[in-house]
Structure 1
């Protein structure tokens, strides 16, 4: 099937989108930048494709599915025009600025292992979202030219023309799609694709980037890539992703992310595309009132001497805690952000705000997730470099923790810790035996979390020892901040 006829600048699509210029083409599609006539100043990407008559119903069904997707790694798809008299379809989506991974590989002499891991983690975030849908959505054409690296270092998928829902009753794909070099073997053999197909493509992308574009298929006799300096454990991850049989690969994007974490323990900052990414510490409570916000504040101020920048983000949009803190301690009307003693307090407005923060440079971000169990919050908890669960030390409240642990057992992590505010040594010992957990810590009873005592700083260092390497931070003077305000540790 040939490319659709090139649209000229000024062409109007659907009485709303005015073509500004062509920005690319490939296969059977063209992509344009188009101005939204109803939203002055808004520019969208328009994908123009030609469909066969027999596939009209299928294409419309798939487009309807794509419009429902909402994830920071994916482009928003906001409109669709079904095939007209010439069989041309138009998909309207976000226009994402940046440089494709293909271009990055071609202009970078050597991509470091740390960068490859961060690249893989971000791809896995998008794939995990797609594969977790009911039914699962399979991308099917994951390749370097379909991945855009934005100026802030964040990666996003930019083409969804080949994604489709997984059909359990179907034994093979209606249409065989994929790009040579990145397509899994089953895409050529008549089998139906599933999430493991996308994981093969992930392995091909990592190999392609690691070898500066020389290889995307495993043609090496040993578990090593000649001439490339990669750790054996990371090479094994790539090798497993590229297994010929789907059953021999990783079975989910979550498994791959766990493998990445095993290869690369958290560091004080992580390199990605020439930028640095702050480490992320997520603090989540088992219930309202267990002391989650108090713990997050205490941790932030106890660690601030370690980092050039430390940000505390309030994840729960209905929370009033930051509003009260800002009014009393920052001497100002509450806005989206304020600063107290070198810690930047931010209230989340949307998930893209977090992505922007993660691409902003070095330092650390502490996420106060509260007791929220919304899907996005749980996803951010699992992605964090350090995962802290705050729970009441009262034995009769252990059911709340047990319920959360039941879910967390499906997502194992070596960087997860349990913290119990105001618990003593005996209580911790009882909790460890009763709950069968090893990584349990008592949060010191510190009435002023904005000026942590020595015991609180020692607690923070102990909990975060995997991130800090166990070394003592430089000491800095602290001015008194308290001003007579008292917080109930159990209520924040």
Structure 2
């Protein structure tokens, strides 16, 4: 059903919910972000549905289901607005801050990491176990990437219960077997009740979708060979069984699926896997020294590390790139290695005192004692990105001044510009033509004012981007201008390597 929404930004629903913006829409409903006027700072998702026919019945049943449920991976329903004179009704529920699995895969093209697929499979099975354990069991019936929300920490929430139904044992009829083509089980296209095995098929389709980079949802000839390089070999027969055409050929229940997935997880040791895959940095004798980019924060918490990672991602598309954590007290290097899991490969740099690993064509380094970078300058990188933090220790300010791509991250708030100028005077660094000063979320006025005060260098906005490893977007565009500006000044640059300091 396509209809004209009655809501718009600035409107207040039920004298309480201030509509901010549209965050999703489909053929049967729209979802808006709203602020609670009674609870300042609290945000909700408002789902709008129109019509007094089957569509209203669906929404009423969705509300009935969700009100009775309580699970960490399901949104709570907190309010329900009855149909108005035009037949529009509204469901107010938890706002899930994140992206759908569909959006996440668009931001990360290609098959998802095998360990992540296992983690998401376990999380989905947690909520399916809960739903199927209800009396009578609740069959979700529409498991697909668009209905899986992921938080920044990749914790998932299952949304949109518009077609979920309670299955009564012995029921001979099912009113409508809805589902999404490609993810719906074969029996959903037939008359008769939808059993919990329907959700097993949907799970298998989602797992296959993730493992093939969004290209496949049905088992085809030769699929096993395609999956071997991507997922743990033990997961392949699990996916195959979930996608069996006949429900009786799938697992007895969600608990049996979870047991099979956990068995695969227990035999998938990311640390052991990494130890078997040690690679060498891209050493090439006789090559000129790398171009060094140094990212420095004028104060803690401004996003210097975030920016340095985003810059590394952009530069890795131009040539072999290394990211170096120059803050010896920082846990970032270890956390990144844990986050990437089994997808990382340990580096074996000859004569290096530091630790390094590789992920998606970027080498992540942690210096040796006292910030020693022995081995990095001999590795043959085209670009080396230094995360200097706030410049404390390891000669951070000197490394920043000597680099060819110096990027100072300062506050973009108008009222903190004077703070940036005081920092420059205090540290004793004189702005240079090659300098770039990035202001997160700054407006044109802040850029103009700071540019007028420092004179030399360039001041630019650093647009917000939640994921620093996203290869496309406004932040990548801003960093592209940093690199291109440095290329234009390359002939006038003084010195190429910070290693000789």
CA distance in 2, matches of 1:153, 1:260: 18
| Shift in Å, 1:212 | 0.3
Taking the TM superposition and a 5 Å limit, the aligned residue runs for 1:89-100 are 89-100=89-100
Residues 218-243 of structure 1, C-alpha deviations (whole Å, 9 max, x = no match): 12256543675434431110011111
Secondary structure, counterpart of 1:156 in structure 2: strand
Match in the other structure for 2:154: 153
Structure 2 CA distance, aligned partners of 1:255 and 1:4? Answer: 45
- Relative to 1, partners in 2 of residues 1:171 and 1:3: Cα closer, same or farther, differing over 3 Å? farther
Separation of aligned partners in 2, 1:267 and 1:209: 18
Contact 2:115 2:231 in 1 (8 A): no
Partners in 2 of 1:270 and 1:46 — Cα distance? 43
Q: Tell me how far apart the structure 2 counterparts of residues 360 and 96 of structure 1 sit (CA, whole Å).
A: 27
2-side partners of 1:228 and 1:140: how far apart?
30
- TM-score of the superposed pair, with normalisation by structure 2: 0.51
**CA apart distance, 1:89:** 2.2
Q: CA deviation at 1:59?
A: 4.3
Aligned to 1:244: 245
Partner of residue 285, structure 2:
none
Question: Contact 2:172–2:192 (CA<8 Å) still a contact in 1?
Answer: yes
Whole-angstrom CA distance in 2 between matches of 1:217 and 1:52 = 36
**Structure 1 spans left out of the alignment, 5+ residues:** 272-357, 363-492
In structure 1, C-alpha distance between the alignment counterparts of 2:262 and 2:61, rounded to whole Å: 37
Query: SS at the partner of 1:262?
Result: helix
Report matched runs for 1:134-213 at 5 Å. 134-213=135-214
Q: Give the direction of change, closer, same or farther, for the CA distance of 1:227–1:79 in structure 2 (3 Å limit).
A: same
Cα 1:44–1:219 shift into 2, 3 Å: same
Distance 1:214 1:54 in 2: 33
Query: What is the SS of the residue equivalent to 1:18?
Result: strand
CA–CA distance in structure 2, aligned partners of residues 18 and 91 of structure 1: 14
Question: Any idea what the Cα deviations from partners look like across 1:156-186, whole Å, max 9, x if unmatched?
Answer: 1132222221133533432232111111111
Partner of 2:127: 126
The answer as to whether partners of 2:44 and 2:93 remain within 8 angstroms in 1 is yes
TM-superposed deviation, 1:58: 6.2
Tell me if the contact between 1:4 and 1:49 (Cα under 8 Å) persists in the aligned partners: no
Q: Return the alpha-carbon distance in structure 2 between the equivalents of residues 164 and 263 of structure 1.
A: 31
CA distance in 2, matches of 1:226, 1:266: 17
CA contact (8 A) 2:22 2:33 kept: yes
| Structure 2 Cα separation of the partners of residues 22 and 104 of structure 1 | 19
Indicate conservation of the 8 Å contact 2:98/2:151, yes or no: yes
Distance, in Å, in 2 between the alignment partners of 1:215 and 1:270 is: 30
- Please show how residues 375-454 of structure 1 align to structure 2 within 5 Å: none
Q: CA RMSD in A?
A: 2.8
Mark the CA change 1:174 to 1:150 in structure 2 (over 3 Å): closer, same or farther: same
3-state SS of paired residue (1:38): coil
Q: Compare 214-223 and 192-201 and name the one that shifted more.
A: 214-223
Cα 1:258–1:2, aligned 2, differ >3 Å: closer, same or farther?
Answer: same
The answer for the alignment partner of 1:331 in structure 2 is: none
Partner of 2:115: 114
Structure 2 regions of 5+ residues with no counterpart? 273-334, 340-501
Q: How many residues align?
A: 276
- Is the contact made by 1:153 and 1:359 (CA closer than 8 Å) also made in structure 2? no
Conserved in 2, the CA contact under 8 Å of 1:152 and 1:359? Answer: no
- CA drift of 1:106 comes to 2.4
* 3-state secondary structure, aligned to 1:19: strand
Secondary structure at 2:266 match in 1: coil
> What does residue 31 of structure 1 align with?
31
Matches of 1:79 and 1:360 in 2, distance apart?
A: 42
Paired position in structure 2 for 1:380:
none
Look up the match of 1:40: 40
Rounded Cα–Cα distance in structure 1 between residues aligned with 2:55 and 2:104: 36
Distance 1:28 1:270, change over 3 A: farther
Match of 1:15 in 2: 15
Query: Partners of 2:222 and 2:270 in 1: how far apart?
Result: 35
How far does residue 3 in structure 1 lie from its aligned partner after superposition? 3.3
More moved, 188-197 vs 208-217? 188-197
Within 2, Cα distance between the matches of 1:103 and 1:86?
A: 33
CA distance in 1, matches of 2:43, 2:136: 31
Report the counterpart of residue 83 of structure 1 in structure 2: 83
Deviations 1:100-125 (A, max 9, x none): 21122223233122211111000000
Q: Which residue of 2 aligns with 1:217?
A: 218
Deviations 1:118-175 (A, max 9, x none): 1100000011111111111111111111111111221111322222211335334322
Rounded Cα–Cα distance in structure 2 between residues aligned with 1:230 and 1:54: 42
With normalisation by structure 1, the TM-score equals: 0.52
1:225-270 per-position Cα deviation (integer Å, ceiling 9, x unaligned): 3675434431110011111111111132211111112222166779
1:482 aligns with none
